[in-house]
Amino acid sequence: MTRLWPRGLATQIIVLTLAALVVSQALTFLISLDQYTKKFDAGAKAEFISRASSVTRLMESLSPQLREQALHASEGSYLRYWLTDSEPMEPNDWRLQALARLSLPLDSSVDPSGTLGWAGSANPQLPSANHVVTANADGSWMTPKPYMWMMPQPAKVLQFSGSEGYGLSTQLNDGRWLNAVYYQHDKGGLWTSGSLVSLGLTALMLALISIFIASRIARPLRNLASAAEALGRGQNLPPLLEEGPEEIKRTAQSFNKMQDRLHRFVEDRTKMLAAISHDLRTPLTSLRLRAEFVNDEETQRKMIATIDELQSMTEAAISFAQGESVREETRNIDLEALVGSICDDQSDLGYPVTHVEGVKMKYLCRPDSLRRAIRNLIENAVRYGGEAKVSLRSTSSTVDIVVEDRGPGIPDDMVEKVFAPFVRLETSRSRETGGSGLGLSIVRAVSRQHGGDISLSNTETGMQAIISLPREGNVNATPVRKERTWRLKKAKRTAQSADLPE
C-alpha cells in the first residue's frame, strides 16, 4: 500500500483534493438519493392518478361502443386501462391480472405500427409474476387523498411490484369498473451525463488549482533540500530565493542566515588557526638563534631537533588552515580518470601503486581537495604497507574509493584516534618516517565536506581505507570491464614525505 501512495508533495495534494471531491460527491449522492426517490415516486403517483381521473371523465362522456377504442389510444408501454364488470377484490389477483395486461402487445390507434415510438417501447421490460406477488404480499387497497382524486365516484389504489408501480380501480356511472396500472420501468438517477460533465469540470479546476498551490510549496522546498545537501557537502551557494507562502519564505530566510553564519564561523576559525601558526614562526626563529650559542653540542642538537619539529608542525598547521580557507568551486569530473591520474603520478615516482579500473562516472566534487585526500592515503599505504592498490566501486548509496595495502594494520583501539590532528602511531617524531600527523585529519575533513566519510579496517592481507562519497553527486555511471595495472618504473625513490601515518 505504501508503494502506491505518491511520494511527491504536489501529487499528494492533487490526489487528496480529488479524493475529497469524490467522497463529498458520494455523500451528497447518498443523502439526496432517498429524497430524490421519494419525490420521484410522489410525482409519478400524482401523475398516474391525474391521468386516471382524465380517462375516467373521458369514459363518462363516451358511449360504451367508443370506450374500448379510447382506452387503447390512451395506453403506453407501461400504462394499461381495461374495463371489468365486477369490483376487484383480491389485491394479488388484481396485480397478476394487471401484469397480464402489461404483457399484451400494445394496440395504439395513434401509432398502430409502433415505428414512431409515441406509445412507448414495443418490448417493455416487466417484472416477474413471483416478484409482483411477493413484493406487496401484505399490501391492500387504499383510498387516495381527496386532493389527488377529486372525482365524485370513489376510487381505490394499491402499490404494484413493490414501490415501482401503482394500480387504480374506480366504478363508472354504468356500473362497470375502470382499471388502470402503471409500472415505473426507469426512475432515472442523479448521475446523468450532465452531472458527470459538471463533476469532471469541477475535478479539473480543483486539479489545476492544486497544481498551482503545490508548485508554490514544493518548488521552494525542493530548492531548500538541494541547498541543504550542497551546504552539507561544503559547496558555496548563492542565497536561496525567498519566495512562496509566508512559512516557506521564512524558512528560506532562516536557511540563508544559517548558511552565512556557518561560513563566517569556518572563516574565522581558519583565519585564527593561520594567524596563530604564522605568529609562532617569530619565537621559533628566536629560539633557533639562541640555540646556536649553547656550548654543549649534545644539548644544542636536541634543542635544534625540537625546534625543527615545532617548525614542521607549524608549517603543517599553516598548510592545513590555508587548505581549509580556500573555497574551491565544485564541478563535474571523471572520477575514474582522477583516481587514475593520481596513481600514474605516484607510479612515475617509482612507488608500487596499482590501479584497478572499475566504473567510469561523472561526479560533482571539488577535485583539488579530493585529489589531495586520495594522494595522502596512497602515500600512507606505500610508506607503511609497502604498496597500494586503488580501485573505484559503486554501491546502491555510495561511490567508494578503496586504497588497500599489505601492511601490519593498526590496533582496533586506535582506529578513531588516528583521525585527530597531530596524532601518529610512529613515535620517532621524525618527518621522514612519521609525517606531521595531519594527513588523516585532512582526508576526513575532505570526505565529510563532500557529504561522505572515511573508514579504516584491518583485513587478512593488510589495511583497507575507504572514502565513501554519496551517490547524489553521481551524474552518469558506465561500467568498464577492462582492467589495467601500472608497471612500476625502476627509479631511485626520492624522499617524499607523507602527511599522515596509519
* Pair (501, 352) in one structural domain: yes
In a domain, 313, yes or no: no
What residues make up the domain containing 468?
330-502
User: Which of these, 427, 415, 11, 449, lies nearest to 230 by C-alpha position?
Assistant: 449
In a domain, 3, yes or no: no
In a domain, 223, yes or no: yes
Report the distance separating Cα 173 and Cα 62, nearest Å.
11
Structural contact between residues 381 and 397, judged by C-beta atoms closer than 8 angstroms = no
Structural contact between residues 200 and 191, judged by C-beta atoms closer than 8 angstroms = no
Looking from the CA of 450 toward its CB, the CA atoms found within 13 Å total 32
Structural contact between residues 172 and 58, judged by C-beta atoms closer than 8 angstroms = no
In a domain, 292, yes or no: no
Picking from 251, 272, 293, the residue at the C-terminal end of a domain is 272
The CATH number for 350's domain is: 3.30.565.10
In the prediction, which pLDDT does 401 show?
A: 92
Tell me the one-letter amino acid at 80: R
Report the distance separating Cα 326 and Cα 445, nearest Å.
13
User: Which of these, 413, 427, 433, 422, lies nearest to 498 by C-alpha position?
Assistant: 433
- CA R_g for the chain: 48
Structural contact between residues 461 and 384, judged by C-beta atoms closer than 8 angstroms = no
What letter does residue 211 receive in the DSSP assignment? Answer: H
* Pair (210, 178) in one structural domain: no
Which DSSP helix (H) or strand (E) runs through 235?
none
Sequence-ordered list of residues with C-beta below 8 angstroms from that of 338, at least 6 positions apart, any chain: 367, 370, 371, 374
In a domain, 317, yes or no: no
In the prediction, which pLDDT does 3 show?
A: 61
* Pair (495, 365) in one structural domain: yes
In the prediction, which pLDDT does 481 show?
A: 39
Picking from 140, 159, 183, the residue at the C-terminal end of a domain is 183
Which DSSP helix (H) or strand (E) runs through 113?
none
* Pair (154, 23) in one structural domain: yes
User: Which of these, 432, 372, 373, 382, lies nearest to 404 by C-alpha position?
Assistant: 382
* Pair (73, 199) in one structural domain: no
* Pair (145, 258) in one structural domain: no
In the prediction, which pLDDT does 478 show?
A: 42
User: Which residues are registered as beta bridge partners of 178?
Assistant: 83, 170
Picking from 241, 257, 272, the residue at the C-terminal end of a domain is 272
What domain count does the chain have? 3
Report the distance separating Cα 387 and Cα 281, nearest Å.
36
In the prediction, which pLDDT does 7 show?
A: 64
In the prediction, which pLDDT does 265 show?
A: 76
* Pair (216, 236) in one structural domain: yes
In a domain, 34, yes or no: yes
User: Which of these, 484, 446, 481, lies nearest to 465 by C-alpha position?
Assistant: 446
In a domain, 378, yes or no: yes
Task: Extract the C-alpha cell encoding 260.
Answer: 552565512
H helices of 62-110, where?
Answer: 64-74, 91-103
Angstrom CA distances, 353 to 204, 262, 382, 383, 384, stand at: 64, 39, 8, 11, 13
What letter does residue 123 receive in the DSSP assignment? Answer: S
Tell me the one-letter amino acid at 94: W
Task: Extract the C-alpha cell encoding 228.
Answer: 541543504
Tell me the one-letter amino acid at 388: A
**In a structure prediction context, what are the per-residue pLDDT tens digits for the chain, which is 502 residues long?**
456 666 666 677 778 888 888 888 777 777 766 665 677 677 788 888 889 999 989 888 888 888 888 888 888 878 889 999 888 888 888 988 898 888 888 765 444 544 434 345 556 678 888 888 788 878 888 888 888 888 888 899 988 887 788 899 999 988 899 999 998 866 555 556 666 777 778 888 888 888 887 777 778 888 888 888 777 766 677 888 887 778 888 888 888 888 888 877 777 777 777 777 777 777 878 888 888 888 888 888 888 888 877 777 777 666 666 555 456 677 888 999 999 999 998 888 888 999 988 778 888 888 888 888 899 899 888 888 889 999 998 888 889 999 999 888 888 888 888 887 767 666 554 445 555 567 788 888 888 878 888 999 888 888 899 999 988 655 444 444 334 443 333 333 333 333 333 3
* Pair (388, 357) in one structural domain: yes
Helix, strand, coil shares of the chain, percent, nearest 5, are: 50, 15, 35
In the prediction, which pLDDT does 390 show?
A: 92
In a domain, 314, yes or no: no
Sequence-ordered list of residues with C-beta below 8 angstroms from that of 80, at least 6 positions apart, any chain: 98, 101, 102, 104, 180, 181
* Pair (462, 342) in one structural domain: yes
Q: Are strands 388-394 and 353-356 parallel, antiparallel or unpaired?
A: parallel
Backbone dihedral region of 195: left (phi > 0), alpha (psi from -120 to 50 degrees) or beta?
alpha
* Pair (125, 251) in one structural domain: no
* Pair (341, 373) in one structural domain: yes
* Pair (27, 169) in one structural domain: yes
